[in-house]
Amino acid sequence: MTEKEKMISGVPYRANDTELIQLRAEVRKLLGKYNQTGVNDDDTQRILLKQILGKTGENSWIEPPFYCDYGFNIITGNDFYMNFDCVILDVAPVIIGDNVMCGPKVQILAATHSVDSHERNFSGTELGCSVTIGNRVWIGAGVIICPGVTIGDDVVIGAGSVVTRDVPPKVFAAGNPCRVIKSI
């Protein structure tokens, strides 16, 4: 397996691999253009967003500035909206459903490291764990979604929450760590 294939499949990989370095450099150039595009140049931003992301649904939009690791691992559904200053670390697939709204400063993190200190510090490898967000989800400002999390359909995540484990459908969840507060 290549390091890219390892990364996407969730096994330890070396981020200093030449191909991965090149892929990160390419998306950073596109992100630089995207983040500097004027507010009245929606057409250019839409073109760039389609080049950055793996797949975008109809009427999907991310307010600049926006940052990601690779872009090709991000799949968004229809009518997806992400507000200013958000980050998606997409070393593994990040799949976002239809009608999802994200407040400003949301972080979706598929990147992680070994919990074993020796492996983490001396192996030179990193890990990725997919993140999946269902349909009709509202993610409040400043939410951090950790690696490996799945959020069900029709969920509201309260502002400032740190989502460390799966969230079932049709609930309001909030806190650090995020927990279900009530059914919707």
Q: Does residue 149 surpass a pLDDT of 90?
A: yes
CA nearest to 137, candidates 154, 121, 122, 120: 154
List the Cα angle 70/161/173 in 5-degree steps.
115
Task: Give catalytic residues, as residue numbers.
Answer: 113
pLDDT score, position 52: 97
List the Cα angle 57/138/63 in 5-degree steps.
55
DSSP structural state of residue 63: P
Average pLDDT, the chain: 96
pLDDT score, position 42: 81
pLDDT band, very low/low/confident/very high, at 88 (cuts 50, 70, 90): very high
Q: Does residue 40 surpass a pLDDT of 80?
A: no
pLDDT score, position 124: 85
Global pTM reads 0.95
Tell me the mean pLDDT in the region 85-112.
98
DSSP structural state of residue 55: B
Gap between the Cα atoms of 149 and 133, Å rounded: 8
The owner of tokens 């926006």 is 66
CATH code matching the domain that covers 3-183, chosen among 3.40.50.1970, 2.60.40.2550, 3.40.50.10860, 2.160.10.10: 2.160.10.10
Report the sign of the C-alpha dihedral through residues 105, 138, 46, 77, in that order: positive
Q: What is the pLDDT of residues 162-171, one digit of tens each?
A: 999 999 999 9
Amino acid, res. 45: Q
Percent of the chain with pLDDT over 90: 90
Tell me the mean pLDDT in the region 1-16.
95
**Could you count the other beta carbons within 10 Å of the beta carbon of residue 30?**
16
> CB of 129 within 8 A of CB of 94?
no
Q: Does residue 38 surpass a pLDDT of 80?
A: no
pLDDT score, position 182: 98
Q: What is the pLDDT of residues 122-134, one digit of tens each?
A: 888 999 999 999 9
Tell me the mean pLDDT in the region 57-62.
94
Tell me the mean pLDDT in the region 51-65.
95
Question: Radius of gyration (Cα) for the chain, nearest Å?
Answer: 16
Gap between the Cα atoms of 183 and 86, Å rounded: 27
